[in-house]
Structure 1
Amino acid sequence: MKDYYRKVPPDLVKQFMNFRETHPLKTVVLNGITWKYLAAGDPTGKPLLLLPGALSTAESAWRTITLLEPGHYRLICPDYPAEIDSMSGLADGITGILDLEQIQTTSVVGGSYGGMLAQVFIHRYPAKVSRLVLSHTYPPDPTRVRSVEPAMRMFRMLPLFLVKKMIRDRMIGILPPRPSPELLLVSAQVRQTVDTRLTRQAALSTFLRMMEFDQQTFSPSDLAGWQGTTLVMLSEDDPTTPETLREKLINLYPGTRLHMFKGSGHASSILESEEYIKVIEEFLGNAEQGHP
C-alpha cells in the first residue's frame, strides 16, 4: 500500500489516524442517495454545521472539528455524495440530515468550496441558520462558468488517472508554498483521497456544483428578513479571492463582520488554526449574547 504520509511528522499522522478511529461516520439514505456524515462534540451543545471543502469529506475538516469539540458544540459535518451534482441538491440533503438529527436551527461554517455551499444553504433555508461564517470563499461569478466548461469536457474524455492528477494538482496548487507539517498532512490527505476514492462521477459533480453556484443571482436584499448575523474571514494574500470578489462577497451580506488574516493565503484554518477558531468562537458567543 502506498504510504501517502511518509513525509508527514509521525506525531501529526498519529493525531489524524486517531481522529479517523474515534470519529466513525453515520450513514443514512435520503431520497435514494446514501449520505455519510460525522456527528461529534457535545450532543446537548449548540448545533454547528461544518461544511467541508472540495475534497468533499468530513474527515478533511478534522483539525477544525478537533479544535471546536471542547467548545460544547454539537457538530455535524457531511461527506458530499458523488451522485449529487448541484449545490442546491447538497443543501436539500443536508437539511434532511438536520431534520433526522432533530436540529431546528444551527450555526453554519463553510470554508472555500464549503463557503459556496453555505451561501446556497442560507438562501434556500434561511430559517434554519442562526449564524453564518464564510471563510476564504467568494460570491457567485457567472464569468467563471466559461472557464469551467473546458475542464468538464476533459473530465468526460480523459483517462481517470489524468483526471485525478488534474484535481490533485489544482487542490494542492492553491496551498501556500510553505513546508509546514500541517500543509504536508493536507497534501497527503488530498493525494490519498483523490487516488483511492475519487470517481469520474465525483469529479464531474464537484465542478458541476461550482457551475451551478456561479449561475446563482444573489442580491443584498435576499436575506432582508433574516434575523441572524454573518462573519466573513478572508486572507490578504489568498489567490482565490481577489479584491473585487472580496468586496462583492461582503456587500452581499449587509452588516457582515470581517476578519482579515495576513500571510496565510488560502490555508488560514491550517496555518493560523488557533486564531481561526478563536475568531469563530468569539463571533458565535457574541452573536448568542446579542452583542454588536
Structure 2
Amino acid sequence: MAAEAYCYGLRRRQADIGELTIDYYWYANPGKPTLVLLHGFSADKSIWLRFARQLRRHYQLLIPDLPGHGETPFAADANHSMPRQAERLALFLATLHLPQVHLIGNSMGGFLATVFASRYPAQVLSLALQDPAGLSSATPSQLEQQVRQGLNPFLQLDFADFRRFYALSMARPPYIPQLMLKGIACRYQQQRALLAAIFADFFDSRLTAAELAQIKVPVLLCWGEADQLIDISAVALWQQQLPQLQLQVFEGIGHLPMLEIPKQSATVYRHFLQRC
C-alpha cells in the first residue's frame, strides 16, 4: 500500500498538533483547492488510495490517519467523540496552514466531516459524504442488529471473524491476496481493546437538527444500496435535515464505494466539485 501511494505521488508526512502526531498522505498541487479525505472507523488513510488517484490533476490531497487508526496513535485524553475529533482536525488543518478545504468522509469519517462543517463553517467549501454515520436509519442494519445482540463484528478474535466482517463491509470487494487479508485480520485482533474504546465514544451519538442547520455549503451524499453496516434507509433522514444535498445511490455496492468502485465514485465527486 505504501508503494502504491508512492506511485500515485502521495507522500507520507507527519504533523505534531500538541497532544499527538498525525500521520498523513499529502499530494502537493500548488494553487489548487485542497481536498481532505477522512476514513471510517477501523480503516486508515490507505483506503482512499485508488479514489484519490483519480483526483490528482486538479486538486491537492490531504489524507490523514485519524487518532487511534493507522499510524496515528491513540489520543492521550482517550476521548474519541466526534466533537473532540473535530477539534483535533481543526488543529491539524491550522498546523498545515490550510484555512479552507473541501471535506469528504466515509462512515465515521463522514460523521466527523459533518460535525466539523457545522462547528467550523468558514473553513469548509463543500461537504461530501459516503455512507456516513451520525443519523439513525429506519431499518436497522446487520451491524446494528449484531451490536445490539452483543456481537460487535469490528471486535474480532480470529481470521474467521474477520472473513465475516469483510463480507459485511463490502458488496464488491477488490482483490486482495490471502496473505494480506490475514495481515489485516491480525491488526484488527491486536487493536481489539483500542477499537472497542473508540467505538464506545461515537457509536451511539447522533447529529442534532441544530448542528445540521449550520451547514450551508453544497453537500453530496453517496450511498451504497447494498450497505450492511449503515442501512440505506438513513438517506431519507439526511435529505430531510439537509435539503440542499445532492444524492447518488450506487446499485449493488456496499459500505465502501471509494474502495469498491474508486473510479466511478471519484467521477461523481469530481463532477460535484466542478459545480460548487
TM range (shorter): 0.7 to 0.9
Residue 150 of structure 1: how far off its partner (Å)? 3.6
Q: In 1, Cα distance between the equivalents of 2:87 and 2:162?
A: 26
Q: Which residue of 2 aligns with 1:3?
A: none
- Say which of 241, 245, 260 aligns to 1:252: 241
Q: In 2, Cα distance between the equivalents of 1:217 and 1:227?
A: 16
- Say which of 186, 194, 208 aligns to 1:195: 186
Distance change in 2, residues 1:151/1:99 (3 Å) = farther
- Secondary structure of the structure 1 residue equivalent to 2:15: strand
Structure having the higher Rg: 1
- Say which of 34, 46, 52 aligns to 1:47: 34
- Say which of 5, 18, 30 aligns to 1:31: 18
Residue 200 of structure 1: how far off its partner (Å)? 3.9
- Say which of 208, 223, 233 aligns to 2:200: 208
Distance change in 2, residues 1:201/1:277 (3 Å) = same
- Secondary structure of the structure 1 residue equivalent to 2:157: helix
Q: How does 1:49-64 map to 2 (within 5 A)?
A: 49-64=36-51
Distance change in 2, residues 1:273/1:195 (3 Å) = same
Q: In 2, Cα distance between the equivalents of 1:240 and 1:200?
A: 18
On the 8 A contact 1:172/1:187 being kept in 2, the answer is no
- Secondary structure of the structure 1 residue equivalent to 2:21: strand
On the 8 A contact 1:238/1:266 being kept in 2, the answer is yes
Per-residue Cα deviation, 1:134-165 (whole angstroms, up to 9, x for no partner): 1122433399599369458x96xxxxx71786
Q: In 2, Cα distance between the equivalents of 1:123 and 1:190?
A: 37
Residue 41 of structure 1: how far off its partner (Å)? 4.0
Q: TM-score, normalised by structure 2?
A: 0.79
On the 8 A contact 1:168/1:191 being kept in 2, the answer is no
Distance change in 2, residues 1:240/1:66 (3 Å) = same
1:115 and 2:110 aligned: yes
Residue 130 of structure 1: how far off its partner (Å)? 1.2
**Structure 2 counterpart of 1:37, which letter?**
Y
Which stretch of the first structure deviates more once superposed, 37-46 or 264-273? 264-273
Q: TM-score, normalised by structure 1?
A: 0.75
Q: In 2, Cα distance between the equivalents of 1:190 and 1:206?
A: 23
Aligned length: 259
On the 8 A contact 1:172/1:190 being kept in 2, the answer is no
Per-residue Cα deviation, 1:75-99 (whole angstroms, up to 9, x for no partner): 1111122223323332221211111
**Structure 1 counterpart of 2:206, which letter?**
Q
Per-residue Cα deviation, 1:11-53 (whole angstroms, up to 9, x for no partner): xx8xx73325753421223232121111114132101110012
On the 8 A contact 1:141/1:215 being kept in 2, the answer is no
- Secondary structure of the structure 2 residue equivalent to 1:127: helix
Q: Which has the higher helix share?
A: 1
Residue 282 of structure 1: how far off its partner (Å)? 0.9
Q: How does 1:7-26 map to 2 (within 5 A)?
A: 17-20=3-6, 23-26=10-13
Identity of aligned residues (%): 21
Q: In 1, Cα distance between the equivalents of 2:246 and 2:181?
A: 31
Task: Please list every run of 5 or more consecutive structure 2 residues that lacks an aligned counterpart in the other structure.
Answer: 69-73
- Secondary structure of the structure 2 residue equivalent to 1:69: coil
1:68 and 2:68 aligned: no
- Secondary structure of the structure 1 residue equivalent to 2:265: helix
Task: Please list every run of 5 or more consecutive structure 1 residues that lacks an aligned counterpart in the other structure.
Answer: 1-12, 156-160, 288-292
Q: In 2, Cα distance between the equivalents of 1:230 and 1:128?
A: 15
Q: Which residue of 2 aligns with 1:183?
A: 174
Distance change in 2, residues 1:223/1:175 (3 Å) = closer
Q: In 2, Cα distance between the equivalents of 1:191 and 1:47?
A: 35
Q: Which residue of 2 aligns with 1:285?
A: 274
- Secondary structure of the structure 2 residue equivalent to 1:17: helix
**Structure 1 counterpart of 2:110, which letter?**
G
1:269 and 2:264 aligned: no
Q: In 2, Cα distance between the equivalents of 1:229 and 1:186?
A: 39
Q: In 2, Cα distance between the equivalents of 1:170 and 1:86?
A: 23
Q: In 1, Cα distance between the equivalents of 2:103 and 2:227?
A: 22
- Secondary structure of the structure 2 residue equivalent to 1:49: strand
- Say which of 192, 211, 216 aligns to 1:227: 216
Distance change in 2, residues 1:57/1:244 (3 Å) = closer
On the 8 A contact 1:55/1:193 being kept in 2, the answer is no
- Secondary structure of the structure 1 residue equivalent to 2:227: coil
